[in-house]
Amino acid sequence: MSVPKKKRTKGHVRGRRSHHALDPLVLAKCSKCGKAVEAHAACGFCGNYKGKEVLTIKVKTKKEAK
């Protein structure tokens, strides 16, 4: 088996890994309700995307007091 002749320096390894960082999440405002939504995704609160309703959201009801 072959063995590396020289040690990879920290700078070389970290420089290669510099592209592995995660990008920050891009948030936009929903045009209907104003909640924060991921870009190019339907709003999870009201179900709108680009001014049109694309998801039907079930309304949570409170249980009546006994």
Q: Encode pLDDT of 40-55 as tens digits.
A: 999 988 889 988 888 8
Average pLDDT, the chain: 88
Domain membership of residue 62 (yes or no) is no
Domain membership of residue 12 (yes or no) is no
Model's pTM, two decimal places?
Answer: 0.54
Taking only Cα atoms into account, the Rg of the chain, rounded to an integer number of angstroms, comes to: 24
Domain that holds residue 42: 23-57
Q: Considering only CA atoms, which of 13, 52, 48 is closest in space to residue 34?
A: 48
Domain membership of residue 43 (yes or no) is yes
**Number of domains making up the chain:** 1
Residue 36: its H or E element: strand 36-38
**Which pLDDT does position 65 carry in this prediction?**
58
Domain membership of residue 50 (yes or no) is yes
Domain membership of residue 6 (yes or no) is no
Neighbouring C-beta atoms of residue 42, cutoff 10 Å: 18
3-state helix, strand, coil in the chain (%, to 5): 15, 15, 70
